[in-house]
Amino acid sequence: MHTSLECSLTGEFHEPDRLQGLSRAGKPLLARYDLGALSGWTPEIVRSRRERSMWKFHEVLPVNGLSEAVTLGEGLTPFLKCVERGVFAGFGDLWVKDEGFNPTQSFKARGMSAAMTRAAAFGVQTVALPSAGNAAGAATAYAARAGIRCVIFVPEDTPPANILESACGGAQVVLVNGLISDCGRLCRAACDRFGWFDLSTLKEPFRLEGKKTMGYELAFDLADARGTDQLQLPDVILYPTGGGTGLIGMWKAFDEMEQLGWIGSARPRMVVVQAEGCAPIVRAFEQGATSAPLFPNARTAASGLRVPAAVGDFLMLDILRRSGGTAITISDEELMQGVGELARFQGIHGAPEGGAVWRAAVRLRESGWLQPAETIVLFNTGAAVKYNHLLTCDDAVRLDHTDPEALVRLESSLSGTDFL
């Protein structure tokens, strides 16, 4: 269990034993733990546990014990080495952490598990949040698990799968004719008016805590892949970035692991990947700014990247610079190309956000920023099934099963392809 909540800007401590939103300075609060009291907690203990979820790290999560967790088995997602084949040739040590295998098919499950756990502990009756898609489905599922009512504010062009997921799960869906930033303003006003608890990204402390478990898992995943007990971190992490809790959370996990004595001071170079049509962090990074103003007229097919302003902007920019990382944009056309390449060459049915980080890796290798021998990890943050409306099947061959010449027609259609 955390022992305090610290303002990420001023360092001022806030009371941990009551519901908290932003700090008194209007910035995200970070949960702090008495890591010195955990000297007997070791990687060997974590490995020996039978718990099949992120809660095997419960010592650094907001609970006194596993029995308090609101869980659907989130975390412990696949860590896959990419086969050097086709367009993936030349990457000698490229890996994908596939968050599409979470219970609600995105990394959002981790954050909602932790946030809903804490909300339930405080007796919250109703939560509300804005979402570009996947957070809505995750909040709905974990609220249902906890017996908490859930209100979702989403742009009206949110992927249908996300809207239906929330409606089916019993949430009250509110469709807004605007962006997630517009949804956020309405959500805040509704929370003030109706007494709901605001579960918006980084506007409560614990979604970050759930997502930081990606950093803990990554260190174990890479060590297991290397066949060693010593926890490992990669040279580079590419992360698709909207609100930024995944990036910020992993960086926090690395700091905690160093304080625990599990890893040293070396850190991966962190890479923010955003869509060309919504790139506030990339623009601010390129301009040398310490904060990112609202990105005007935000648009992208990757709904998780369509976040025109992020409350954790200053934290992300600081992480990029401290790690020696960078920030890059990818067009919608190219990120959808990446979705196809991951599926065809690796068997990974990733979200557009996953396609974006893969194509970003290609670009950075071509520029020389990435070296072929480096250990590189791509985070695919969701599953393509949530984006079926963006996928096509133009190459399908149609046959009449009563036609005696059906196979002749099939042969003709496949002529000149790799299938014949």
Query: How confident is residue 360, by pLDDT bands cut at 50, 70 and 90?
Result: very high
| Cβ proximity of 186 and 176 under 8 Å | yes
Q: What is the pLDDT of residue 395?
A: 86
Percent of the chain with pLDDT over 90: 90
| Burial bucket for residue 71 (CB in 10 Å: 0-12, 13-18, 19+) | buried
In tens, the pLDDT along 15-65 reads 998 899 999 999 999 999 999 999 999 999 999 999 999 999 999 999 999
User: Residue 372: inside a domain, yes or no?
Assistant: yes
Q: What is the pLDDT of residue 372?
A: 86
User: Residue 340: inside a domain, yes or no?
Assistant: yes
User: Residue 374: inside a domain, yes or no?
Assistant: yes
In tens, the pLDDT along 288-339 reads 999 999 999 999 999 889 999 999 999 999 999 999 999 999 999 999 999 9
CATH number, residue 280: 3.40.50.1100
In tens, the pLDDT along 249-291 reads 999 999 999 999 999 999 999 999 999 999 999 999 999 999 9
What average pLDDT does this structure show over 93-98?
98
Instruction: Decide if pLDDT at 392 tops 90.
Output: no
Q: How many domains does the chain have?
A: 1
User: Residue 266: inside a domain, yes or no?
Assistant: yes
User: Residue 143: inside a domain, yes or no?
Assistant: no
User: Residue 354: inside a domain, yes or no?
Assistant: yes
Question: 229: domain range?
Answer: 79-105+208-390
Q: What is the pLDDT of residue 388?
A: 87
User: Residue 48: inside a domain, yes or no?
Assistant: no
User: Residue 345: inside a domain, yes or no?
Assistant: yes
Instruction: Decide if pLDDT at 407 tops 90.
Output: yes
Instruction: Decide if pLDDT at 103 tops 90.
Output: yes
Q: What is the pLDDT of residue 51?
A: 94
